Amino acid sequence: MEFKPKATVCAVMLVLLLLSSYDGAGVGVAEARICTGKSQHHSFACISDKSCTKTCLSEHGAKWTAGYCKISRCTCQREC
């Protein structure tokens, strides 16, 4: 059986190309859904994400992980 150098080089290049384009996304890792809700303790208009995050993290029982100031209202977020 005779090897053809061009075919071998093409096959090796194809394998290298496929391996270099693999980013690990095919391993079945799913992103978590994000649930949002209005802050129960922040009753006045917010001015910064920092104050909303602080308020959301301090609310007991809700397990919020972040807070954002959207349209002058604190919106809390967590993984569902």
pTM (2 d.p.): 0.56
Residue 68 lies in a domain: yes
**pLDDT value of position 48:** 92
Structural domains counted in the chain: 1
d(CA 61, CA 11): 58
The answer to whether residue 55 sits within a structural domain is yes
In a domain, 21, yes or no: no
**Under 8 Å between Cβ of 39 and 66:** no
Condensed to tens digits (0 to 9), the pLDDT of residues 18-66 reads 666 656 555 556 778 999 998 888 778 888 999 999 999 998 777 899 9
CA 48-52-56 angle, to 5 degrees, is 170
Q: Tell me, what CATH number does 55's domain have?
A: 3.30.30.10
Is residue 9 classed as helix, strand or coil in its secondary structure? helix
